[in-house]
Every structure is written in C-alpha cells, then in structure tokens.
C-alpha cells in the first residue's frame, strides 16, 4: 500500500486541464459554467475532487468526481459495478451519493472516472467520538438490511469457508509481519469450522469512519468501490479493527451498541471476523498511516498503530482460545483411526 500511495501522490500532482473540467461540467449540467475543482484528500484508492459550477440558471452546484489511476485495480468493469451499486442504494433509499455520470474509458478526465452527488457533512474520522461511532453502527446495520440478491451485478463471493481458504492461501508470511501469521491462520481455520449457512447481505467491504460522512444526527456512506455481497460480519470486524487503531475511548463499544440498536446481528464468533480484518492490515497497519494523517489524525505513528494492532490481535486470539474449538489438525487426528 505504501508503494501505491507514492504512485497516488504522483497522480495527484498531475494537473487535469481546465478544458477537461469544463467538458465534465457540460455533461453534468448542460449550459452550466465550470468554476473550480477542489481536491479532497484521505482516500487510498482514487483521486477525489469536488467540482463547483454554476448551472444553466446560474445556481451554484457541486458534484464529487472520482478518478482511478492506472495500477489501482479499478478498470472499466469496476466503474460500471460501482455505478450500479450506487443505483441499488438509491433504489433502497440508503444514505449514499447518487450516480450522475461515468466514463469507464477515461476519455474526459484522462482516467476512468465517475461523478456523483455530494453528501453534506464531513468525514466521521475527522472528529470521531462515541456518538459518531454509534451513528456509524446504526448506518452499517441499515446497509446490512439490503438483501445480498440486490447486489447481483457483482460476482458471487461464494461460501465464506471457501473465501477464507482462498484468503489464507494468498496470505504469505513475511519477515516484517506485525504478528505471527501462522498463529493467525490456525485460529482463523478453527473459526471457519463454526461458520454454517451465513447470512448474505449487502457488504461494503471498506467500512470505517473515514468512509462515513456525518451531518449532525445523520450519516451517509461513501466509497462504494469494493462493495458487494457476503457475510455482514466481515464489515463489523474490519470497522472494529479501524476503531481499535484510532483508539478514541469508548468508540468500539459504541459502534457495536449502535449496530445492535438498529437491528444488526453481531456474529456469535466475533473474534473470527476481527482476525479476518487483521489479515488486511498485514504486514503492518503503518501502511495506512498516510490516510490517517490526511484525516487529521497526525497524532498516530507507525509504532502506535502497531502497538494497538498487537493488542487487538491478542484479545481476538484469547477469545478464539476461549471458544473451545479444536485446531483443525487436532480435530482431524481425533476423528482418524489409529494406524
């Protein structure tokens, strides 16, 4: 991620010609006049700009443009999927941006891009507190009420056990790993034995306070690039990891309370989903540090993030041990006749 972030900084320095912004304005507001573009920092997957213009009647209007640099894994098909995801959320009346325009080929802004409405407010991560964390929990529970079959435009992720096996096979130990990846894998394999007929719902797949926009008592979700369908517990565990890393007192508990309050079902074996979230931060959560700093959390350092991640991992592993599930190898040996 750090190498990718360096590439993203280079892309940010690339100036988009005013003529390109004017061409976008003409597509969004025919007869309108482009005023300016304002970069929005904090994201790691796209270049984000607020486009400010006057429409044909002279009224001030805004939209959010997201451009996807080469090498980021977002091509024409991913653009089309995100647009359809935004349409699904609109049909479900979920609090999220509405799609306005897309250019999978990158003909207007020089990169594959899409534009959407701007949701009012500011990123929750910029001023996180327990009230905001509870708000995020309620928002996630609302999103998880969307049935998975509404997201049929994205590939079927398949059975969670199959997903876990694939993720573990691709999770290769490294010398700079924050934690013993073999120990994590063993615990996750034990947890996979507990998964049976999991619920399939809408899944954001990158849900954390940086992707929640708060406006007073309301909140909306943004950055739907990776959204799909699957086990809702994956979103819960991943957000819990983010809250543990930023460590604002009481927010992890408030998030779960808000989630439950709004009808969200917290997984019985939450430690499994916590550890699946951990896999995504390896070899170190320090690779997310630039994004945290852009969100205003300049108090965070690599050492701080790693210390908090170790504590989160230790707690999850302790809960996995308390679950009493045998290691996969032990269970197999117990069921095999002696040779």
Proportion of the chain above pLDDT 70, given as a percent: 90
Span of 1-5, 31-35, 82-86, 323-327 with lowest mean pLDDT: 1-5
Looking at the chain, which residues constitute the CATH 3.90.1200.10 domain(s)? 122-332
> Which has the closest alpha carbon to 82: 107, 102, 62?
102
pLDDT surpasses 90 at 69: no
pTM above 0.75, yes or no: yes
Contact yes or no for 291/210 (Cβ under 8 A) = yes
Reported confidence tier of residue 107, pLDDT bands at 50, 70, 90: very high
Residue 151 CB contacts under 8 Å (≥ 6 apart), including other chains: 85, 88, 202, 203, 227, 228, 229
Other CB atoms within 10 A of residue 242 CB: 25
pLDDT surpasses 60 at 337: no
pLDDT at 278: 97
Tokens of 310: 């170790």
Q: What is the mean pLDDT of residues 31-56?
A: 91
Cα separation, 87 vs 93, in Å, equals 10
Cα separation, 326 vs 189, in Å, equals 10
pLDDT surpasses 60 at 144: yes
Reported confidence tier of residue 6, pLDDT bands at 50, 70, 90: low
Classify the phi-psi angles of 324: left when phi > 0, otherwise alpha if psi is within -120 to 50, otherwise beta.
Answer: left
Reported confidence tier of residue 338, pLDDT bands at 50, 70, 90: very low
Reported confidence tier of residue 131, pLDDT bands at 50, 70, 90: very high
Tokens of 214: 């708060």
Cα separation, 47 vs 27, in Å, equals 19
Tens of pLDDT along 241-250? 999 999 999 9
Question: Pick the residue with more confidence: 76 or 7?
Answer: 76
Contact yes or no for 24/108 (Cβ under 8 A) = yes
pLDDT surpasses 60 at 260: yes
* Residue 168, phi then psi, degrees to nearest 5: -70, -35
Proportion of the chain above pLDDT 90, given as a percent: 78
Return the residue matching tokens 């435009």: 153
Fill in the DSSP letter of residue 15.
P
> Rounded to 5 degrees, what angle do the CA atoms 214, 115, 241 make?
40
Tens of pLDDT along 303-330? 999 999 999 999 999 999 987 765 544 4
Other CB atoms within 10 A of residue 6 CB: 10
122-332 topology per CATH: Aminoglycoside 3'-phosphotransferase; Chain: A, domain 2 (3.90.1200)
Residue 6 to residues 13, 284, 293, Cα–Cα distance (Å): 11, 17, 15
pLDDT at 326: 59
pLDDT at 4: 58
Fill in the DSSP letter of residue 104.
T
Buried b (16+ CB within 10 A) or exposed e, 129-148: ebebbbbbbbbbbbbbebeb
pLDDT surpasses 60 at 199: yes
Tokens of 339: 């040779």
pLDDT surpasses 80 at 11: no
pLDDT surpasses 60 at 182: yes
16-116 topology per CATH: Phosphorylase Kinase; domain 1 (3.30.200)
Q: What is the mean pLDDT of residues 166-189?
A: 94
Looking at the chain, which residues constitute the CATH 3.30.200.20 domain(s)? 16-116
| Burial (Cβ within 10 Å: 0-12, 13-18, ≥19) of residue 73 | exposed
Tokens of 80: 């089309």
Residue 292 to residues 21, 47, 75, Cα–Cα distance (Å): 29, 16, 26
Q: What is the mean pLDDT of residues 37-55?
A: 89
Task: Name 116's bridge partners.
Answer: 64, 99
pLDDT at 88: 98
pLDDT at 14: 78
pLDDT surpasses 80 at 124: yes
Q: What is the mean pLDDT of the chain?
A: 91
pLDDT surpasses 80 at 5: no
Most confident of 19-23, 322-326, 333-337: 19-23
pLDDT surpasses 70 at 189: yes
Residue 153 CB contacts under 8 Å (≥ 6 apart), including other chains: 81, 84, 85, 88
Contact yes or no for 283/176 (Cβ under 8 A) = yes
């Amino acid at each position: 991620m750090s190498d990718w972030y360096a590439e993203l900084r280079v892309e940010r320095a690339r100036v988009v010609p005013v003529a390109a912004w004017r061409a976008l304005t003409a597509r969004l507001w025919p007869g309108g006049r482009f005023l300016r573009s304002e970069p929005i920092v904090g994201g790691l997957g796209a270049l984000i700009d607020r486009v400010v213009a006057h429409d044909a009647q002279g009224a001030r209007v805004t939209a959010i443009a997201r451009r996807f640099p080469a090498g980021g894994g977002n091509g024409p098909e991913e653009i089309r999927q995100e647009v359809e995801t935004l349409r699904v959320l609109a049909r479900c009346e979920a609090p999220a941006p509405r799609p306005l325009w897309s250019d999978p080929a990158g003909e207007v802004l020089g990169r594959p891009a899409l534009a959407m409405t701007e949701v009012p407010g500011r990123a929750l991560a910029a001023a996180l507190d327990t009230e905001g964390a509870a708000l995020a929990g309620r928002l996630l529970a609302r999103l998880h009420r969307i049935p998975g079959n509404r997201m049929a435009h994205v590939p079927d992720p398949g059975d969670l056990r199959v997903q876990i096996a694939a993720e573990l096979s691709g999770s290769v130990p490294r010398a700079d790993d924050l934690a013993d990846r073999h120990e994590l894998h063993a615990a996750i394999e034990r947890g996979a034995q507990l998964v049976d007929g999991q619920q399939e719902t809408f899944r954001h797949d990158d849900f954390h306070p940086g992707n929640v926009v708060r406006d007073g008592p309301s909140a909306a979700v943004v950055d739907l690039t990776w959204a799909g369908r699957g086990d809702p517990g994956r979103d819960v565990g991943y957000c819990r990891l983010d809250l543990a890393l930023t460590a604002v007192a009481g927010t992890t508990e408030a998030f779960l309370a808000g989630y439950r309050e709004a009808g969200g079902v917290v997984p019985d074996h939450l430690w499994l989903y916590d550890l699946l979230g951990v896999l995504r931060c390896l070899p170190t959560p320090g690779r997310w540090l630039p994004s945290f700093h852009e969100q205003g959390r300049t108090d965070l350092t690599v050492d701080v993030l790693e210390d908090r991640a170790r504590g989160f991992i230790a707690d999850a592993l302790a809960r996995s041990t308390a679950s009493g599930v045998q290691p996969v190898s032990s269970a197999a040996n117990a069921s095999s006749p002696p040779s």
